[in-house]
Amino acid sequence: MSDFAISVAKEFVRAINRQNVDALAALMTTDHRFTDSLANTVEGRNAMRSGWAGYFGMVPDYSLAIEETYADGSVVVMLGMAQGTFCGKEGTVPENRWQTPIAIRARIEDGLVAEWRVFADNEPMRTLMRKA
């Protein structure tokens, strides 16, 4: 199961890196659970489809660079960097570019992502949002 779970989690990352909301939704269970690094949780595929679309509106070039991946059965942990450019009043200008270390815990069920939990320092993005 670990190799299969890793492949599903990596496909989810590829969909994020393409900012492809439809591909992300296709990889989620109907009761998908997303938890951000502030412990805010969103449940349900449809709610997260809207969530990802909104986030890509704020950070249109959001991407993950995964450096390490570990799995135990259906649970996958990925470590790397999250990065993007906040689209503030001035648009996606170079000054609004940010990058931060990230850890992700994904749980895979029946070939789909049932849970996606993000651990990251949100301060770079919050700082840019306060300026906007």
| d(C-alpha 108, C-alpha 2), whole Å | 10
pTM of the entire structure?
0.94
Question: Which residues touch 22 (CB under 8 Å, ≥6 apart)?
Answer: none
Element of type H or E holding 49: helix 45-58
- 108 token code pair: 């895979």
| d(C-alpha 111, C-alpha 101), whole Å | 27
Determine the 3-state secondary structure of 13 from DSSP: helix
What per-residue confidence (pLDDT) applies to 96?
87
| d(C-alpha 69, C-alpha 18), whole Å | 20
Whose tokens are 């986030």? That residue is 55
Determine the 3-state secondary structure of 92 from DSSP: coil
- pLDDT at residue 125 above 80? no
Whose tokens are 């949780």? That residue is 41
% residues pLDDT > 90 (the chain):
83
User: Average of pLDDT values for 18-22?
Assistant: 98
Would you place residue 132 in the very low, low, confident or very high pLDDT band (cuts 50, 70, 90)? low
Summarize pLDDT for 58-96 with one digit per residue, the tens.
999 999 999 999 999 999 999 999 999 999 777 888 888
| d(C-alpha 14, C-alpha 130), whole Å | 29
Closest CA to 27 of 10, 40, 41, 51: 10
Higher pLDDT, 121 or 10: 10
